[in-house]
A and B are shown apart, each in its own frame.
Chain A
Amino acid sequence: MKFRFQRKFLCIPYWLFLVLFVVVPIFFIVFYAFTDGSGHFTWDAVVEFFTTNNKLNVLVQSLLFSTLNTILCLAIGYPISYLLANKKYNTKYVLVLLFVMPMWINFVLRTGATRDVLSWLGINGGTHPYVATMIGLVYNYLPFVILPLYTTMLKLDQSQIEAASDLGCNRIQVFTKSIIPQSIPGIVSAAQMVFMPTMSSYVIPETLSEGKIVLFGNSIYLGFANNQWNSSSFMAIIMLIIIGISMLATRNFSEKDSGKGGTAW
């Protein structure tokens, strides 16, 4: 039989990639999560995770840090993005770069610098581990909030804003009834950019709390480092499930957003 090129062959590289780098790793994680060192099936990891306080505490603490970090980043990033996107206050793109630039500096270096600045200010990781970690997290993730919010703000429909004020909104009401609803897609993608990465962040809490605070990502790493493949793999699965849930929960919003055209990424 003669070989005939079909268009569907074009997706072969994609499938290969998917299998190699997504399906196979997940398979291994699942495999390790439910087998012991000699390759026999076991529930050990599940039982251990849900019965020992230690690991659950880490999960709860991570969720709290992530939530607080997301809220703080949004609270700080939202007004900044609004001002940056408003031609009345900002006519230069340079200012935007200034806020987003830290994203491109080496992450470990930046965190080390943050630690030094904080301890110089008296917020030492040894004495104030929670405050120092929180500041570090907010500082690190702020650009990830500003960029998507900024792109959404650029796309704000001015005539909707005018319509709101035409129909009787004062300045505050224009904000709550038109600007915020319009920027929901940006808020959602900004939250996604912060929430999950915070849970799995490792360098920031490690460096800034001088090892006193362990987040979920940290704990997975430590597990693997100590050859606890079984329990660490199960924690990685928990992580995957949380990511899945958060993606499902925000799916509606991101779909709407993608319909409106590309972002600046």
Chain B
Amino acid sequence: MENNYIIDLKNVSKIFDDETIAVDDFNLYVRKGEFVTFLGPSGCGKSTTLRMIAGFEFPSKGSILLNGKDISNVPPNKRPINMVFQRYALFPHLDVYENIAFGLRLKRIPVLKTDKQGNKVLEIDKKKIKELKSEYKLIQRNKHLDEAEKSEKLNGLQSQIDYLKANPVESYNYVKLSEKEIDNKVARALKIVDLEALEDRDISTLSGGQQQRVAIARAIVNEPEILLLDEPLGALDLKMRKEMQIELKEMHKKLGITFIYVTHDQEEALTMSDTIVIMKDGVIQQIGTPKKIYDEPKNAFVADFIGESNIYNGTIVGDKKVRFLDHNFDCEDEFQLNEKVDVVVRPEDVIISEKGGMIEGVIDNKIFKGVNYQYVIMIGKNELLLKSTKDYEVGTKVGLNIEPDGIHIMKKDFLVNIYTDAWIDKNNHVMIDDSPFDCDVTQLLAGSTLDEEGYLVSADKAHKYDLKDADVVAEIAKDKIEIIDDIESEEAQIVGSIVDSIYIGDHYRYIVRTENEEDFVLDSQYSYNLDDKVGLKVNKEDIKLRLKKEVSVYEI
């Protein structure tokens, strides 16, 4: 085998009902024995990916290789992979012992056929012949092969069949595991999950934590090559969760099985995994070790999702120099001059001192966090979060320093909202997502004006245009959209709910999604909660329009 990847997902996509793209072009390989975690907010496609590996869903595109063999369409019972379900999915009609023995009772192991003297019995391999014959028929019916290729393949198959018919081979009986073997394996599994005393108990009499352990035992007892865990600790309380995290990690070391773990809890991911895969909206954002992802987040989303961080708007002002918080900092990454970037600074990378520093701020808030203090410092109107063991009073003026390796610079992921299927209605409003926005249509033709009837008149008054139903592309900068709290008010031109929010230094970046699934990305000073319903307002002059067709099409 050319590599030691136990599982390899190649361009895997999953589309539900022809519209929901749950997983989008997923590429990932996992090494034998690795502990990989899929991390992302709820609904980002973690479970769907896991379920494709388990075999409960089949990929819409791409392929899944197990030890180099394509298993994309193999049913779950034929995969050497077991899963621990989110809500355990234990069998309530069976006791603890029988739940764990469930997989073992179904198992059939091949045993070499021998006669009474212990000699191997040779038999014709009928099963293989049958497989070859059905393949033969498939090729025979295949219309896409040309004749020469076809007959070559058919001859090849035929000679294989003839060979098998003439040459008996060692054959196998498929036998059940004996009660004794099952007993031993179940006992071992119970020991691993620390439940030896409970084997006769009914499932309904177990606590959540105990059920969790049974679910794990039921999976590992089959000695799978890969163990899948879908938010297995989600239903446990905090203390129990911490304990189980440690135990699972130990189990992983002891068993040497590859673990693929799903969670939306970043701390869980950071403490347990060898590799973290961060996902958002079905797309992988970053793959890396916990340290690498923490220290070098690839974009603002990852930085925000993993650990606490300060995120600012910055501008590249020179060779390895970036400006944010009104100061030019040295940094380690090279970007184009004047490029707008997101800057991420981890709270522990800011060095605080009373003697002054690169920038100055005032302590606004202080919380003791067991080992250190967490301060919120106001620098002008920007906030900065920092952690330090030193004790300062609230209101103290402090200096702050940030070393170049503490400054992480990322390409800005978004500047303007672009709506490519907007159109002009009869009142010269632009229709975005079926809502009318007041706009200035005269920008579509330089120097033009509107006459009393609402027709566009060219600068030299020679041409007149009716823009009704004209298709346009509309652009709205994300800092030009205003949130209106009262969704009933006249000012709210369109209503949607907040589906995403990231705090960026001195403001929030929200994504507001309308009922028709149109997204508006915008910046705001004010804090809103996810799922809040808000109205949006855009000033007339802030909507940039571009006609899709020549303006002459609309001449009258």
Where the two chains meet, the residues of A that have a C-beta atom closer than 8 Å to any C-beta of B are 157, 159-160, 162-170, 173, 177-178, 181-182, 184
| Pair B76/A165 contact, Cβ less than 8 Å | yes
Contact of B89 among A157, A168, A169, A170 (CB under 8 A): A157
Contacts A162-B56, A162-B76 given: A167-B89 contact, CB under 8 Å?
A: no
Contacts A159-B89, A167-B82, A168-B222 given: A173-B106 contact, CB under 8 Å?
A: yes
Look across to chain B and name the residue whose beta carbon is closest to the beta carbon of A182. B93
Contacts A163-B83, A167-B222, A168-B106 given: A181-B77 contact, CB under 8 Å?
A: no
Look across to chain B and name the residue whose beta carbon is closest to the beta carbon of A157. B89
Task: Please indicate the chain B residues that have their CB under 8 angstroms from the CB of A159 in the complex.
Answer: 85-87, 89
Question: How far does the Cβ of A173 sit from chain B's closest Cβ, in whole Å?
Answer: 7
> Number of B residues contacting the other chain (C-beta, 8 Å)?
22
What are 15 A-B contacts defined by CB distance under 8 Å?
A157-B89, A159-B86, A160-B89, A160-B91, A164-B91, A165-B55, A165-B56, A165-B75, A166-B81, A167-B82, A167-B102, A167-B106, A167-B222, A168-B77, A169-B77
Give 8 closest A-B pairs by Cβ, nearest first.
A167-B103, A168-B106, A159-B89, A163-B89, A181-B93, A165-B76, A166-B76, A168-B77
| Pair B91/A162 contact, Cβ less than 8 Å | no
Task: Please indicate the chain A residues that have their CB under 8 angstroms from the CB of B222 in the complex.
Answer: 167-168
Q: How far is the CA of A170 from the CA of B107 in the complex (A)?
A: 11
CB of B407 closer than 8 Å to a CB of A: no
B99-111, CB under 8 A of A: which get 1 and which 0? 0001100110000
Q: In chain B between 32 and 62, which residues have their CB closer than 8 angstroms to a CB of chain A?
A: 54-56
| Pair A162/B93 contact, Cβ less than 8 Å | no
Look across to chain A and name the residue whose beta carbon is closest to the beta carbon of B230. A159
Q: How far is the CA of A39 from the CA of B77 in the complex (A)?
A: 72
| Pair A168/B83 contact, Cβ less than 8 Å | no
| Pair B93/A168 contact, Cβ less than 8 Å | no
Q: How far is the CA of A162 from the CA of B54 in the complex (A)?
A: 10
Look across to chain B and name the residue whose beta carbon is closest to the beta carbon of A170. B77
Look across to chain B and name the residue whose beta carbon is closest to the beta carbon of A167. B103
CB of B478 closer than 8 Å to a CB of A: no
Question: How far does the Cβ of A101 sit from chain B's closest Cβ, in whole Å?
Answer: 31
Task: Please indicate the chain A residues that have their CB under 8 angstroms from the CB of B106 in the complex.
Answer: 167-169, 173
Q: In chain B between 62 and 91, which residues have their CB closer than 8 angstroms to a CB of chain A?
A: 75-77, 81-83, 85-87, 89-91
Contacts A163-B83, A166-B82, A168-B107 given: A178-B91 contact, CB under 8 Å?
A: yes
| Pair B93/A184 contact, Cβ less than 8 Å | yes
Task: Please indicate the chain B residues that have their CB under 8 angstroms from the CB of A165 in the complex.
Answer: 55-56, 75-77
Interface of B is mostly: loop
Question: How far does the Cβ of A170 sit from chain B's closest Cβ, in whole Å?
Answer: 6
CB of B218 closer than 8 Å to a CB of A: yes
Look across to chain B and name the residue whose beta carbon is closest to the beta carbon of A181. B93
Where the two chains meet, the residues of B that have a C-beta atom closer than 8 Å to any C-beta of A are 54-56, 75-77, 81-83, 85-87, 89-91, 93, 102-103, 106-107, 218, 222
| Pair A166/B77 contact, Cβ less than 8 Å | yes
17 more CB-based (< 8 A) A-B contacts, given A159-B85, A163-B90, A181-B91:
A160-B91, A162-B83, A162-B89, A163-B91, A164-B91, A165-B55, A165-B76, A166-B55, A166-B76, A166-B81, A167-B77, A167-B106, A167-B218, A167-B222, A168-B107, A170-B77, A182-B93
Look across to chain B and name the residue whose beta carbon is closest to the beta carbon of A160. B89
Q: How far is the CA of A169 from the CA of B93 in the complex (A)?
A: 17
Look across to chain A and name the residue whose beta carbon is closest to the beta carbon of B93. A181
Look across to chain B and name the residue whose beta carbon is closest to the beta carbon of A162. B56
Look across to chain A and name the residue whose beta carbon is closest to the beta carbon of B215. A163
Question: How far does the Cβ of A158 sit from chain B's closest Cβ, in whole Å?
Answer: 9
Question: How far does the Cβ of B396 sit from chain A's closest Cβ, in whole Å?
Answer: 55
Contacts A159-B85, A173-B106 given: A166-B91 contact, CB under 8 Å?
A: no
Question: How far does the Cβ of A89 sit from chain B's closest Cβ, in whole Å?
Answer: 16
Question: How far does the Cβ of B218 sit from chain A's closest Cβ, in whole Å?
Answer: 7
Q: How far is the CA of A182 from the CA of B91 in the complex (A)?
A: 9
Task: Please indicate the chain B residues that have their CB under 8 angstroms from the CB of A169 in the complex.
Answer: 77, 106
Task: Please indicate the chain B residues that have their CB under 8 angstroms from the CB of A178 in the complex.
Answer: 91
Q: How far is the CA of A169 from the CA of B56 in the complex (A)?
A: 13
Look across to chain B and name the residue whose beta carbon is closest to the beta carbon of A178. B91
Task: Please indicate the chain A residues that have their CB under 8 angstroms from the CB of B218 in the complex.
Answer: 163, 167
Question: How far does the Cβ of B193 sit from chain A's closest Cβ, in whole Å?
Answer: 16
Q: How far is the CA of A239 from the CA of B72 in the complex (A)?
A: 59
Task: Please indicate the chain A residues that have their CB under 8 angstroms from the CB of B90 in the complex.
Answer: 160, 163
Task: Please indicate the chain B residues that have their CB under 8 angstroms from the CB of A157 in the complex.
Answer: 89
Question: How far does the Cβ of A257 sit from chain B's closest Cβ, in whole Å?
Answer: 12
Look across to chain A and name the residue whose beta carbon is closest to the beta carbon of B106. A168
Most buried by B among A160, A165, A166, A184: A166
Question: How far does the Cβ of A245 sit from chain B's closest Cβ, in whole Å?
Answer: 24
Task: Please indicate the chain B residues that have their CB under 8 angstroms from the CB of A166 in the complex.
Answer: 54-56, 76-77, 81-83
Look across to chain A and name the residue whose beta carbon is closest to the beta carbon of B85. A159
Task: Please indicate the chain A residues that have their CB under 8 angstroms from the CB of B82 in the complex.
Answer: 166-167
Task: Please indicate the chain B residues that have their CB under 8 angstroms from the CB of A184 in the complex.
Answer: 93
| Pair B77/A162 contact, Cβ less than 8 Å | no
Look across to chain A and name the residue whose beta carbon is closest to the beta carbon of B87. A159
Q: How far is the CA of A160 from the CA of B93 in the complex (A)?
A: 11
Q: How far is the CA of A112 from the CA of B529 in the complex (A)?
A: 65
Task: Please indicate the chain B residues that have their CB under 8 angstroms from the CB of A182 in the complex.
Answer: 93
Task: Please indicate the chain B residues that have their CB under 8 angstroms from the CB of A177 in the complex.
Answer: 102
Look across to chain A and name the residue whose beta carbon is closest to the beta carbon of B101. A167
Task: Please indicate the chain B residues that have their CB under 8 angstroms from the CB of A164 in the complex.
Answer: 91, 102
Task: Please indicate the chain B residues that have their CB under 8 angstroms from the CB of A181 in the complex.
Answer: 91, 93
